[in-house]
Amino acid sequence: MSVSAVPAVPAVPAVPAAAADPSVCAPLAVLGRDVTVPLVTGGEVTYAALDYAASAPALQRVWDDVAAYAPYYGSVHRGAGYLSQLSTDLFENSRTTVAEFLDCREDDQVVFTRSTTDSLNLLAAALPAGCEVFVFETEHHASLLPWRDARVTYLDAPRTPDEAVHTLERALADRDPYGPALVCVTGASNVTGELWPVRELAAAAHAHGARIVLDAAQLAPHHPVSVQELDVDWVAFSGHKLYAPFGSGVLAGRSDWLREAAPYLAGGGASRKVARRPKEAGGGVDVEWHDTAARHEAGSPNVIGVYSIAAACKALTEAGFDDLVAREQYLIRKVREGLAEVPAVRVLSLFGDDAPRVGVISFVVDGWNSSHFAAALSAEYGIGVRDGLFCAHPLVRTLLGGEAGEPGECGAPEAAPGEKSLNAIRVSFGAGTPDEHVERFVRAVKELVADGARWNYRTEDGRCVPDTSAAA
């Protein structure tokens, strides 16, 4: 039976939109929306997951699609059996779905990886000899750190989108005009949520003979990403930010550097032909590698992870990004207006209050260590946020200006003198967030600032946690 003749996985009944349920009021249903958690002050409350920027909850539809496929699970690519052919068909169709979601060019490759970090490390391993890399210090570590074997120019944090473009143009003007070069830039900051001028940066890169890769980890879950409209050479993102389970990612874009590079991992699947070399010829093996995406997908693939990404891409596309963006902007306004009413709160920003952004907001609170504040939000209100430097240490330190809070306070991280509590709080949300979660968050911030925590907290393994031995 040919792969094309393999029937599709049985259709899963459509999951009703969460917005139809007035107790949920979110465009898309997500797992965990009904989970309750205990409060240290007594009782339980529905968990408010406001840490989407780290990992968004999986869409219910994604989970249901995967569950429908699970009984048909089989080996991929080299199996002769029915389930193997069906799984192979599902895997390769997922590649097509992702290419359509990203509006890729006809000859682009879609390579499946473990995450955005893995994708950018793959691209780093595929850089041509002598390639120069240009990256802003504002990047997440996933896009700041992989370029260890290249010549890297780190660009200072810009304070406006125009400054970002001009900074890049000046740096590129000084480079060797004949050698290969790559620009790496985020689409939306994982710290401030601000959108970067990707199309303009791509134009600047190409005008100076460089290529550009877009870190879309924080952009793709919130906005449509078109490789062709943005004119980027590659795009990378993670499934776990796109409402899919952990362990899958994508690198999509131009095939030439990927085709000419040594395989990211050596092994089965990446090799087309392997032959033993005669002893008189020195022994060993001769290998002919694939020149397709399989070249960098050695080993048995994560079929469940890949299919879940494709399912998430379909769900977001069918929900309509116009509607998703409009509602997220409504939630952003609710949070920002609420925080603006608290003088002790300072929201972090590179480009200013009017900059377009996704649902990612970081802030600090006068008189509070961020770990302590985040712990109180969780323990006393059932709200999950993140605190720290968000795997973007240079950016957060720039935004905080090296300010130090109260040293030695609960949860203050170990750092250089004067920086013991140099961290921030991040709240993030998306298509599965009901109004009540952000309303509870704003109310909790106001109450904590006005009245303080209602419980005692202590430091444990570097984290601020409730002291269950006594109340405040």
| Active-site pick, 25, 313, 391, 464 | 391
Answer yes or no: pTM beyond 0.75: yes
Q: What is the pLDDT of residues 280-331, one digit of tens each?
A: 888 889 999 999 999 999 999 999 999 999 999 999 999 999 999 999 999 9
Distance from C-alpha of 415 to C-alpha of 370, rounded to nearest angstrom? 15
Torsion over CA: 160, 163, 168, 169 (sign): positive
Residue 401 has a pLDDT of 85
Q: Facing residues of 133 across strands?
A: 152, 182
The residue whose two tokens read 């001769």 is 286
Three-class DSSP category at 3: helix
Please give the mean pLDDT across all residues of the chain: 90
Distance from C-alpha of 235 to C-alpha of 111, rounded to nearest angstrom? 11
What are the φ and ψ backbone dihedral angles of 271, each rounded to 5 degrees? -95, 135
Q: Is residue 402 predicted with pLDDT exceeding 90?
A: no
List the structure tokens of 458.
């202590």
Burial classification of residue 408, based on how many CB atoms lie within 10 Å of its CB (0-12 exposed, 13-18 middle, 19 or more buried): exposed
- Which of the 8 DSSP states describes residue 46? E
Q: Is residue 10 predicted with pLDDT exceeding 70?
A: no
What are the φ and ψ backbone dihedral angles of 457, each rounded to 5 degrees? -130, 155
Task: Find the range with the poorest average confidence among 387-391, 400-404, 420-424.
Answer: 400-404
Distance from C-alpha of 103 to C-alpha of 318, rounded to nearest angstrom? 15
Distance from C-alpha of 433 to C-alpha of 250, rounded to nearest angstrom? 25
Closest-CA residue to 304 (of 70, 32, 461, 30): 70
Q: Is residue 35 predicted with pLDDT exceeding 90?
A: yes
Distance from C-alpha of 236 to C-alpha of 102, rounded to nearest angstrom? 10
Q: What is the pLDDT of residues 69-125, one digit of tens each?
A: 999 999 998 889 999 999 999 999 999 999 999 999 999 999 999 999 999 999 999
The kind and range of the H/E element at 440 are: helix 435-451
Check if 410 is active-site: no
Beta-strand runs (E) in 54-104: none
Residue 412 has a pLDDT of 55
The span from the first CA to the last CA of the chain, in angstroms, equals: 69
